[in-house]
Each structure stands twice: as C-alpha cells, then as structure tokens.
Amino acid sequence: MEILDPSLQSYLDAHLDPEAPELQAINRETYLKVLKPHMLSGHYQGRVLSMLSKMVQPKLILEIGTFTGYSAICLAEGLADGGILHTIEVNAEYEEMLNSHFKLTNVDKKIKLHIGAAEGIIADFEENNFDLVFIDADKRNNLTYFELVFDKVRPGGLIIIDNVLWKGKVFGNENDTDTVNIRKLNEHIAVNTKVEKLILPVRDGLLIIRKK
C-alpha cells in the first residue's frame, strides 16, 4: 500500500505523535484476526485524518467504509462538542468487533455505526450538512459515492477519498477495472470547477477535495 520510499516513510513515522494505546490494540487485532489487514489506515494516515478533522472542527462527519474502525476513531478526535460521526460498513461480520473497538476510546459515544450498503443508507440520511466525508470503501464505486454525498456537504466542507494512487497504477500503463475506475474518478475531480482539490502521496494516495 505504501508508495513512498520505505526509508522516507520510516523517517516520517519517527517524527509524528506516538500511536495511542487503544489504536495500537486495534492495529494489532486487525493484523491478527482480519483478512487483508493492510486496508487499515494505520498510524501515519490516521494522524493525517485526525489533523484534518481537528482543523475543520466538524459537527457532522460521514465515513463510507469502516473496516475495523481505526480511521473512524481518528476522524472523531476532531469533532466539535456535540458532534457525531456516521460510519457505514457493508460487512455485518465486523459489527461486534467494531463496537468493542469503539468502546476502547473516549470518542465511542460520538460514533454511530450503520451496517449495510452505502447507497441506500446515504439516500435515507436526513442530514444534508456534512462538514467532512471520508470515502474508503469499494473502489469501483468511489465516483458514485462522491456524487451521492456532494449535495450533502456544506460549502467549505471536505471530501477525502483514499487509495487514489492505487499502488502507482493510475500513472502507469495498467488498465484493469479498478485502475481504470480510479483514474476516471481522479480525472473527473480534476476538471470539477465546484471544488478545490489536491492529492497527497500518503500511503496509497489521499484525494483532498474542498467544496466551494
């Protein structure tokens, strides 16, 4: 998942705040018990998400793709008083683990877990004023999720999409389905005049979008 030189990533990892014990525990359990544990945001990306959230001080966050809860906890650290993070996970088998992970933290009361397909859950939301949205689910639907949430994000709000560099395939000659879809998403956002945008080369690429 890392696209940076390992030596550079090690240097970056050595010069940020230490990983909280509860996040260490979630990281460890994910690698012990869950298939494809590399999908976890991890320490460095988690601190990036936490920092962005703290800068925005959101009252309302939406996350699409909870996995084992690491990124939800990091994002929830920046919530304003009384704020809520809604997170959607399609895999019901993770529900018990997620609830136990959230209870390890001091933000568990700020997180509302939804189990099911994201499209239907998003369509049913009454909330239409999200301050921050993090999209980290099935990559073939990233553009669909972006379009579903766009009108639900306030002007000045952030939409963050993970894995947009796709192990470097998007700027290579690969043409598998996921690579083509991610390339299409990046190109769509690049010409969208309703947003400001940039890609951070963090882990597998974070696309940061600010709605005008």
Radius of gyration of the chain (CA): 16
What CATH number is given to the structural domain containing 88? 3.40.50.150
Residue 2 has pLDDT above 80, yes or no: no
Residue 1 has pLDDT above 70, yes or no: no
For 185-199, the pLDDT digits (tens) are 999 999 999 999 999
What mean pLDDT is predicted for residues 65-94?
Answer: 97
Predicted pLDDT of residue 127: 81
Q: Is residue 1 part of a domain?
A: no
Q: Is residue 72 part of a domain?
A: yes
Average predicted confidence (pLDDT) for the chain: 95
Range(s) of the domain holding residue 38: 6-211
For 43-53, the pLDDT digits (tens) are 999 999 999 99
For the chain, what percent of residues have pLDDT higher than 90?
Answer: 90
CB-based burial, 186-211: b 16+ in 10 Å, e otherwise: beebeeeeebeeebeebbbbbbbbeb
Predicted pLDDT of residue 31: 95
